[in-house]
Amino acid sequence: MSVHEREAVLTAVKQDGRVLWDAPEELQSDREVVMAAVNQNPWILVYVSKELQSDREIVMTAVRKDGMILEYVSKELPWDREVVLAAVQSAGYALEYAPKELQSDHEVVMAAVNQNGFALRYASEELKADRKIVLAAVKRDRHALKHASDELHWDREILLASKST
């Protein structure tokens, strides 16, 4: 592979990450080329080598652009709290793909429901009973109330917040 060909592919994936699919195999494993492709289209991460799917910097780039990609990243990385936090800040629903211990993490769940109130659905039972989290969730999406614990269904402030969204 010539330097000129590599530079041409690098330039192309910066415009359209999907170009990586048709690139020579050695470039599909080139970290700089893959990073540029993922930066343009985070879903390219699904198609790169397992080694690069485990590259924390590449994964962080992808989840910051679209947190739902968390479902497809290497299973070693979802345990990384910072990766999960970045994912739910981008897409609250990514909480579904977080490990159970992070679905019980107050900061992670709060970030998820602040991005998308309905993400409360994927919170631990304990946090579905957390008044602050439920209030934040229903302020974003009144339908989140259906995932709150029974005792919070009749909380006056939460009911009022759910009626105003």
CA Rg value for the chain = 19
pLDDT tens track for 14-36? 999 999 988 888 889 999 999 99
CA distances from 138 to 53, 99, 133, 155 (A): 35, 23, 9, 12
> Has residue 154 got a pLDDT over 90?
no
Mean pLDDT (the chain, rounded): 91
Confidence category of residue 58, pLDDT binned at 50, 70, 90 = very high
pTM: 0.87
Which tokens is 77 given? 């990385």
